């Protein structure tokens, strides 16, 4: 098998390797097959790597090998350049935060005591521990006054998960291992937690290994994705963009599913694409100017710009003689941080074939068309580079 797991997938400047798995193998007693088989993988500092794959493929076992909850049959784990077997286990676990499904909180300890677990192990004084607990509750979006003294059973699943994240961050670890942290959360709250967690990560920049069953979550959360096949083997390790654009044969293609080309749209932000120009008119234009603009364009709609070049409506062009019709309202234009997928979603929601895009100040920037998105989906699905000359990545 080619070595898919070494080095930097982007081929750019190398990030420091925080976790290095070297031919790591785990065979549980009495099992004929290895749960993890000669796994070799470099995890760069300050990034999220998602492990995704079918049930039983060795994701959890790999996590437990990293923080030495279990010992390997053979192979090595290096943390920040040092073999983990040379680091005493308690010290190691203080450097590695661990969250599991449903938060894994101690049921008979309050929220504050749960979060304080590692800071106390580290011997911090009471005041520093108390401050850290409040700081972390703030960070995960829970009001310390309300939640500090509650017990886990007095929290919703999502709140327990937040406390689980706060507890894992307690001792300011270098590394976080998160084993399906949002697995038991309903889809809406799950999305909120994912967004919240990405916001936290932008501030704390930990090295994170994030296990999930869900390819969409792997794409959203991962700077890189390791796709596991059976027996703890990694079939592909790369950025979400590359995996979606060029999935390894067979299993990976199947695992990603037929929605890959649509999913890729969600990876491209509007701020990074060059948008085609569109015929526009000013809100204050007189009738003659509007008629001239309608005749001079081959589009079925003109975009109306108001004060400060803000898109405010669409002007349909009708009839053989191309007359401007009644202005239609434009509710909310798309912004620079929206993705091509958001554009598609927006057009499907408002039943339109085009959507106006603005810059960060709300000024008109261009228009995305449904036809262009359709073309992108089709060319990407066919595996060909996009031939669209309407919408180029900047
Ligand atoms: N303590 C154990 N003793 C024996 N076999 C085990 C043990 N723990 C896990 N296994 C086996 O090792 C394999 C890998 O398990 P692991 O929990 O790492 O998979 P996983 O990818 O995390 O699965 P899931 O997505 O279902 O959590 C499985 O076949 C499992 O049955």
Pocket test for ligand 1, best of 55, 61, 65, 255 (most atoms within 8 A of CB): 61
pTM, two decimal places: 0.69
CA of 255 to the centre of ligand 1 (A): 19
Last residue of a domain, one of 222, 257, 292: 257
CA of 64 to the centre of ligand 1 (A): 11
Kindly state whether residues 60 and 115 are assigned to the same domain.
yes
Last residue of a domain, one of 257, 279, 295: 257
Written as one string, the DSSP assignment of 131-150 is HHHHHHHHHTT--HHHHTT-
pLDDT digits (tens, 9 = 90+) for 40-71: 999 999 999 999 988 888 999 999 999 888 99
Kindly state whether residues 27 and 148 are assigned to the same domain.
yes
Q: Of 205, 197, 239, give the one whose Cα is nearest residue 12.
A: 239
In a domain, 227, yes or no: yes
Assign 3-class secondary structure to 319-382. CCCCEECCCEECCCCECCCCEHHHHHHHHHHHCCCEEEEECCCCCEEEEEEHHHHHHHHHHHHC
Q: Give the atom of ligand 1 at the shortest distance from the alpha carbon of 53.
A: 21
Kindly state whether residues 235 and 376 are assigned to the same domain.
no
56 in contact with ligand 1, CB cutoff 6 A: yes
ipTM of the complex: 0.95
CA of 63 to the centre of ligand 1 (A): 11
Pocket test for ligand 1, best of 54, 56, 178, 209 (most atoms within 8 A of CB): 56
Kindly state whether residues 359 and 298 are assigned to the same domain.
yes
CA of 364 to the centre of ligand 1 (A): 53
106 in contact with ligand 1, CB cutoff 6 A: no
3-state secondary structure of 68: coil
- pLDDT for residue 210: 95
**DSSP 8-state secondary structure symbol assigned to residue 184:** T
Low-confidence residues of the chain: pLDDT under 70: 1-14, 102-103, 249-251, 257-261, 378-394
55 in contact with ligand 1, CB cutoff 6 A: yes
Kindly state whether residues 308 and 207 are assigned to the same domain.
no
Cα separation, 226 vs 151, in Å, equals 36
- Measure the N-to-C terminal CA separation of the chain; round to a whole number of Å: 36
Neighbours of 388 (CB within 10 A): 16
- pLDDT for residue 69: 87
61 in contact with ligand 1, CB cutoff 6 A: yes
Kindly state whether residues 124 and 54 are assigned to the same domain.
yes
CATH code for position 237: 3.40.50.300
CATH code for position 312: 3.10.580.10
In a domain, 265, yes or no: no
CA of 293 to the centre of ligand 1 (A): 66
Pocket test for ligand 1, best of 26, 51, 59 (most atoms within 8 A of CB): 59
List C-alpha distances in Å: 337 to 196, 303, 326, 359.
16, 21, 31, 9
- pLDDT for residue 346: 85
Last residue of a domain, one of 257, 284, 314: 257
In a domain, 8, yes or no: no
Neighbours of 165 (CB within 10 A): 24
Kindly state whether residues 279 and 309 are assigned to the same domain.
yes
212 in contact with ligand 1, CB cutoff 6 A: no
Kindly state whether residues 316 and 170 are assigned to the same domain.
no
- pLDDT for residue 10: 41
Cα separation, 337 vs 232, in Å, equals 36
Query: Domain span at residue 155?
Result: 17-257
Kindly state whether residues 195 and 335 are assigned to the same domain.
no
60 in contact with ligand 1, CB cutoff 6 A: yes
Q: Give the atom of ligand 1 at the shortest distance from the alpha carbon of 213.
A: 25
Burial state string for 85-123 with b = 16 or more CB within 10 A and e = fewer than 16: eebeeeebbbbbbbbbbbbbbeeeebbbbbbbbbbeeee
In a domain, 234, yes or no: yes
Kindly state whether residues 246 and 276 are assigned to the same domain.
no
- pLDDT for residue 392: 53
Kindly state whether residues 152 and 31 are assigned to the same domain.
yes
Spatial contact of 43 and 78, defined as CB atoms under 8 Å apart = no
In a domain, 151, yes or no: yes
Report the sign of the C-alpha dihedral through residues 251, 256, 258, 262, in that order: negative
Kindly state whether residues 304 and 208 are assigned to the same domain.
no
- Report the run of H or E that residue 91 belongs to, with start and end: helix 89-95
349 in contact with ligand 1, CB cutoff 6 A: no
In a domain, 308, yes or no: yes
Phi, psi of 283 (to 5 degrees): -55, -30
Work out the angle between the directed axes of helices 157-169 and 126-139 (0-180°, nearest 10).
130
Cα separation, 301 vs 316, in Å, equals 4
- pLDDT for residue 63: 92
209 in contact with ligand 1, CB cutoff 6 A: no
- Looking at the structure of the chain, the number of domains it has is 2
In a domain, 12, yes or no: no
Spatial contact of 144 and 134, defined as CB atoms under 8 Å apart = yes
pLDDT digits (tens, 9 = 90+) for 348-387: 888 788 999 999 889 999 999 888 888 777 665 544 444 3
CA of 231 to the centre of ligand 1 (A): 10
CA of 5 to the centre of ligand 1 (A): 22
In a domain, 263, yes or no: no
58 in contact with ligand 1, CB cutoff 6 A: yes
Q: Give the atom of ligand 1 at the shortest distance from the alpha carbon of 58.
A: 18
């Amino acid at each position: 098998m080619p070595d898919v797991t070494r080095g930097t997938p982007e081929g750019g400047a190398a990030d420091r390797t925080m976790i290095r798995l070297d031919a790591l193998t785990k065979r549980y007693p009495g099992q004929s097959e290895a749960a993890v088989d000669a796994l070799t993988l470099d995890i760069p500092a300050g990034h999220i790597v998602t492990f995704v794959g079918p049930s039983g493929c060795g994701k959890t076992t790999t996590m437990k090998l990293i923080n030495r909850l279990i010992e390997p049959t053979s192979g090595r784990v290096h943390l920040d350049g040092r073999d983990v077997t040379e680091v005493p286990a308690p010290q190691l676990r203080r450097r590695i935060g661990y969250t599991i499904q449903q938060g894994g909180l101690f049921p008979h300890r309050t929220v504050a005591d749960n979060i304080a677990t590692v800071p106390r192990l580290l011997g911090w004084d009471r005041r520093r521990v108390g401050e850290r607990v409040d700081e972390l509750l703030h960070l995960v979006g829970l009001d310390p006054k309300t939640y500090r003294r509650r017990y886990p059973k007095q929290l919703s699943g999502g709140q327990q998960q937040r406390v689980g994240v706060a507890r894992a961050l307690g001792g300011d670890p270098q590394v976080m291992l998160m084993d399906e942290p949002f697995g038991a959360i309903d889809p809406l709250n799950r999305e909120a937690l994912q967004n919240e967690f990405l916001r936290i990560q932008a501030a704390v920049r930990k090295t994170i290994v994030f296990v999930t069953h869900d390819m969409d979550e792997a794409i959203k959360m991962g700077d890189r994705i390791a796709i596991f096949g059976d027996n703890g083997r990694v079939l592909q390790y790369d950025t979400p963009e590359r995996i979606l654009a060029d999935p390894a044969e067979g299993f990976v293609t199947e695992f990603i599913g037929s929605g890959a080309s649509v999913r890729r749209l969600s990876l491209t932000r509007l701020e990074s694409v060059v948008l085609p120009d569109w015929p526009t008119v000013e809100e204050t234009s007189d009738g003659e100017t509007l008629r001239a603009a309608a005749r001079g364009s081959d589009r079925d709609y003109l975009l109306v710009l108001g004060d400060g070049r803000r898109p405010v409506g669409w002007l349909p062009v009708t009839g053989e003689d191309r007359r401007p019709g009644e202005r239609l309202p434009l509710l909310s234009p798309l912004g620079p941080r929206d993705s091509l997928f958001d554009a598609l979603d927006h057009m499907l929601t408002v039943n339109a074939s085009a959507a106006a895009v603005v810059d960060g100040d709300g000024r008109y920037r261009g228009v995305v068309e449904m036809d262009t998105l359709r073309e992108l989906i089709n060319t990407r699905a066919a595996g060909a580079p996009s031939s669209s000359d309407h919408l180029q990545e900047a």
